Chains A and B, each alone.
Chain A
């Protein structure tokens, strides 16, 4: 494979496939792509726990499944506790090498599942919790969630009254639990994402991975731009890619060559179309302030 003039060497991407074609995600869904990449990083043996979210249906309606690993469908609020239970069961049966992975949306993590997640993290159970964050309740029809960013349109925050509160900072909440590993990742940077999943698998204790996952339907972007829009989120520092070990070592894993204005990210999406230039400026300030808080903690590498 020839990619020597390219920024990334795609030869590094594992060839294993644990997700088959024929899934029922919408065209251009970043969540289905993220799952494929995550499993490339995690490998087998892995067990997934999926609460109510888009991913309940993406692998296929019963009796179909696109996933080549066992999946346990949990109730909306119980991802954390189900993970703990399944891990305990495997350990009891002498199968401690099984990686138990929760895969929940932003609604199931930021809002409905936060109690169970917090309890799992507090017990530091040996599980991986992945939140694929598409920034609203997309499966039920684009309702506002705690993960919805400020200013965004959803069906419950219409254009004349868009969401006025900023996005809940789930990363800080999880860092406050002092878990051994936390990372943000996105499928627009597959090499970075796979490396983080590999690393997560090698660590004991509660690991939390926050994925930004574009939803062309809910974000009002053309399907072909879902990777592009996630890339712009990283390049504009709206969704910086970093990892945190034991709430102590902070490391930015993808440093943009040039930070772009948030306007480019916002203006690509229909859900932000109503934002005035004034609002975009405010948004820029909010993003800059948050990144500045993070940046101070990033370990200086190189």
Chain B
């Protein structure tokens, strides 16, 4: 006899013989669970619109090539970005409220390097369409616009007045932050994609803007900000005085600028830090002179920290008044400043006190900000003081002209430039295809206030499964932190200071594969399903099952009573309750 045998013909007592599956308890509910894909805070604030949670998921499983391809959907330069981006994503990481932020940039750098080491390539069909787009300026914005337009099937020609493409990435960033072979490796991929490079051609001089306007269906301007703001004091023509852009350009071209042994660097931004750190590498003493205090410095804290490690001195609340010396610099007269009211940037304004003092130096670098050379802009674009007027997507008042990078009103960083190049590429593609921006606007796919577009969401073709995408942002309170152990993050290692000062060797060391995997696995993957199985295990109705057609789970609405346990127990906020009508 079998113990399961319920076929009792003459039961001694009442015996249940029917499965409860006939009892459709799903009719009881007033709210139903929904699997959604929310935007994580890191993704939301990424100016380049990368799907960070997506590639962390793939890296955690060792799927490096897929991770690389996922980044390449949005950003053509992961190896560059992993090095030079100031990773504001890590400041927004939900993990900071748990233990330490995930070291996103180091994972990205590893993936970028993996792509370079394995010569991964993006294949694109030949130009499908006869329309051609001109890109002026081969900096991060222009190259990104070219990359995306080429992937969208447009023919692209890129003009640049310098001898090599890269813009500020090549001529502005010292190689201890971004080695040149990484830059060359990432840019060479564009060459192979069929982007036509017209190098050492200055638009406005060798080619006229009008001829571009006539020859091309659309033009993207990403000419950057190459004019150093003048300090506005006398004696700036003395020997030993450089401006930051000239100085860094000379360094990046391998020239040895003739500076002294004691350098005063004027300014508080990242260029000032770069100049001071380069000066240290040239064997000079460097002092950064900034008119506000450290808290107001626009330079990134990590950069300031590394400059300090390398022996850069800081002099705050001081502003240059006069330069001593006959032909060469022999000192600077500084005025003491005090902090006053808040200004428009939300920082306290420096107020002169009238009190002066002198510092001794035999070289000076001014790094107080860069602006666009107004003369380089086409005559028909409207701009205000070198900032080109453009809409959210980069379209200027001259409709076939689009702008991006440092010439529009965005922060002057590589990452923002990449984001603006991508936005403009989307806008140009839509412009060429005659899609009006009002209808079906890409706004609905933008993340955050910066208007970042994630193309995979826009097209619905992410390599990482994204079902039911929503623009809601997940914060720590939407997660169930119980399911995550507290694990300290892997710290970035830097080479010793004496090694650094010997030359232009890269300062931060790469993570090992184990470290990268452990960091990627620390990622909460906020807002996206990783098939952890909690919803399924905790469902008292047994109504959540694996999706037979693919990724994730489905809830059987015939039996779901709408208790919402699955939503509460989802570790990463990838579910929500929806009230039923």
Interfacial residues, chain A to chain B (CB-CB below 8 A):
1-8, 10-11, 13, 17, 19-30, 32-33, 36, 44-45, 47, 59-60, 62-66, 69-71, 93, 95, 98, 187, 190, 216, 222-228, 231, 257
Q: Nearest Cβ in chain A — how far from B542, in angstroms?
A: 5
Q: Residue among A27, A33, A231 with the most chain B CB within 10 A?
A: A27
Contact status B564-A21, CB under 8 Å = no
Q: Nearest Cβ in chain B — how far from A38, in angstroms?
A: 13
Q: Which residues on B sit within 8 Å (CB–CB) of A27? A: 28-29, 561-563
Q: Nearest Cβ in chain A — how far from B107, in angstroms?
A: 13
Known: A1-B532, A17-B542. A223 touches B3 (CB 8 A): no
By beta carbon, the residue of chain A nearest B57 is: A2
Q: Nearest Cβ in chain B — how far from A106, in angstroms?
A: 19
Main secondary structure of the interface of B (DSSP, over half): loop
Task: Produce 1/0 per residue, B535-548, CB < 8 A to A.
Answer: 00111111100000
6 contacts between A and B (CB under 8 A): A2-B60, A24-B23, A60-B16, A65-B18, A187-B538, A227-B569
Contact status A2-B20, CB under 8 Å = no
Contact status A62-B16, CB under 8 Å = yes
Q: Nearest Cβ in chain B — how far from A111, in angstroms?
A: 26
Main secondary structure of the interface of A (DSSP, over half): loop
* From A33, A47, A65, A257, contact of B19 by CB (8 A): A65
Contact status A36-B542, CB under 8 Å = yes
Once the chains are docked, how many angstroms separate the CA of A26 from the CA of B563? 9
Query: B485 interface residue, CB < 8 Å from A?
Result: yes
Contact status B19-A70, CB under 8 Å = no
Q: Which residues on B sit within 8 Å (CB–CB) of A227? A: 538, 565, 568-569
Classify chain B: how many residues form its interface, as a range: 35 or more
Contact status B563-A28, CB under 8 Å = yes
Once the chains are docked, how many angstroms separate the CA of A45 from the CA of B2? 10
Once the chains are docked, how many angstroms separate the CA of A218 from the CA of B568? 20
Q: Nearest Cβ in chain A — how far from B111, in angstroms?
A: 18
Q: Which residues on A sit within 8 Å (CB–CB) of B483? A: 6-8
By beta carbon, the residue of chain B nearest A34 is: B540
Query: B443 interface residue, CB < 8 Å from A?
Result: no
Known: A7-B482, A19-B542. A1 touches B25 (CB 8 A): no
Contact status A22-B17, CB under 8 Å = no
Contact status A3-B18, CB under 8 Å = no
Contact status A190-B537, CB under 8 Å = yes
Q: Which residues on B sit within 8 Å (CB–CB) of A70? A: 3-4, 6
Q: Which residues on A sit within 8 Å (CB–CB) of B571? A: 6
Contact status B24-A224, CB under 8 Å = no
* From B61, B484, B540, B558, contact of A6 by CB (8 A): B484
Once the chains are docked, how many angstroms separate the CA of A99 from the CA of B486? 40
Q: Which residues on B sit within 8 Å (CB–CB) of A7? A: 482-485
Contact status B3-A10, CB under 8 Å = no
Once the chains are docked, how many angstroms separate the CA of A144 from the CA of B541? 27
Q: Restricting to B515-561, which residues have a CB under 8 Å from any CB of A? A: 521-525, 530-534, 537-543, 556, 558-559, 561
By beta carbon, the residue of chain B nearest A72 is: B13
Contact status B563-A226, CB under 8 Å = yes
Query: B233 interface residue, CB < 8 Å from A?
Result: no
Q: Which residues on B sit within 8 Å (CB–CB) of A216? A: 563
Once the chains are docked, how many angstroms separate the CA of A1 from the CA of B556? 20
Interfacial residues, chain B to chain A (CB-CB below 8 A):
1, 3-4, 6, 14-25, 28-29, 57, 60-61, 482-486, 521-525, 530-534, 537-543, 556, 558-559, 561-565, 567-569, 571, 577
Q: Which residues on B sit within 8 Å (CB–CB) of A257? A: 486
Q: Nearest Cβ in chain A — how far from B512, in angstroms?
A: 18
Contact status B532-A63, CB under 8 Å = no
Q: Residue among A8, A20, A224 with the most chain B CB within 10 A?
A: A224
Once the chains are docked, how many angstroms separate the CA of A28 from the CA of B523? 30
Contact status A20-B21, CB under 8 Å = yes
Once the chains are docked, how many angstroms separate the CA of A23 from the CA of B561? 10
* From B15, B542, B564, contact of A28 by CB (8 A): B564
Q: Which residues on A sit within 8 Å (CB–CB) of B25? A: 21-24
Contact status B23-A33, CB under 8 Å = no
Contact status A95-B3, CB under 8 Å = yes
| Besides A2-B532, A3-B533, A64-B16, 20 new A-B residue pairs in contact (Cβ under 8 A), listed by A number | A2-B61, A3-B530, A4-B60, A6-B484, A6-B571, A7-B484, A7-B485, A10-B534, A21-B21, A21-B542, A21-B558, A27-B28, A30-B540, A36-B542, A60-B16, A65-B20, A70-B3, A70-B4, A190-B538, A226-B565
Q: Which residues on B sit within 8 Å (CB–CB) of A13? A: 533, 537
Once the chains are docked, how many angstroms separate the CA of A93 from the CA of B531? 45
Known: A2-B532, A10-B537, A226-B563. A60 touches B484 (CB 8 A): no
Q: Nearest Cβ in chain B — how far from A29, in angstroms?
A: 6
Contact status A33-B3, CB under 8 Å = no
Q: Nearest Cβ in chain A — how far from B483, in angstroms?
A: 5
By beta carbon, the residue of chain B nearest A71 is: B16
Contact status A223-B4, CB under 8 Å = no
Contact status A66-B19, CB under 8 Å = yes
Q: Nearest Cβ in chain B — how far from A252, in angstroms?
A: 18
Q: Which residues on B sit within 8 Å (CB–CB) of A2? A: 57, 60-61, 530-532
